[in-house]
Structure 1
Amino acid sequence: MSQTNRGRAQDRARVAAGQDHEVRYEAHKEGVSKAAVRDAVLEVGNSRNKVEAKLEEGD
């Protein structure tokens, strides 16, 4: 895990569904709605790889 400038741990392998900026980023990246990202997180968990695979599966 990397660290922020303030020394806090930063986990880029997770999608925090409660963080609007994370959901918005992932939705824009995958070309889907924010609701689709939140639904994917609820279905497969918060692993970024699993969420992205689930969103790509929907195409």
Structure 2
Amino acid sequence: MSTRGSKIERREVNSSQPYEVKYLADKLGVSIQAIVGAKRATGSSDRKDIENYIKSKKKAG
């Protein structure tokens, strides 16, 4: 069993898995649509990129 695959799996948010998107939305206190929008805006599925984008939007707003 490869550990590399599991590390990548945890680092990224898969939009086709609703529980992953819902978990991140609940964690950050935003809607699921905000997570999907952040993924589009950043062009990344990386959790850190999405979290940083949403946190910066919260500070600005």
Q: Where in structure 1 are there 5+ consecutive unaligned residues?
A: 4-8
Q: Where in structure 2 are there 5+ consecutive unaligned residues?
A: none
Which amino acid letter does the alignment assign opposite residue 48 of structure 1? R
Paired positions, count:
54
- Identity among equivalent pairs (%): 28
Q: Superposition RMSD on alpha carbons, in Å?
A: 1.7
Matches within 5 A, 1:19-38: 19-38=17-36
Q: Distance in 1 between matches of 2:33 and 2:3?
A: 28
Which has more strand, going by share of residues? 1
Which has more helix, going by share of residues? 2
- Deviation track 1:6-59 (CA, whole Å, cap 9, x = no partner) reads xxx422110112210000000000000000001111111101100000111111
> Which of 9, 13, 18 does residue 15 from structure 1 map onto?
13
When normalised by structure 2's length, the TM-score is: 0.78
Q: Distance in 2 between matches of 1:53 and 1:26?
A: 12
2:41 alignment counterpart? 43
When normalised by structure 1's length, the TM-score is: 0.80
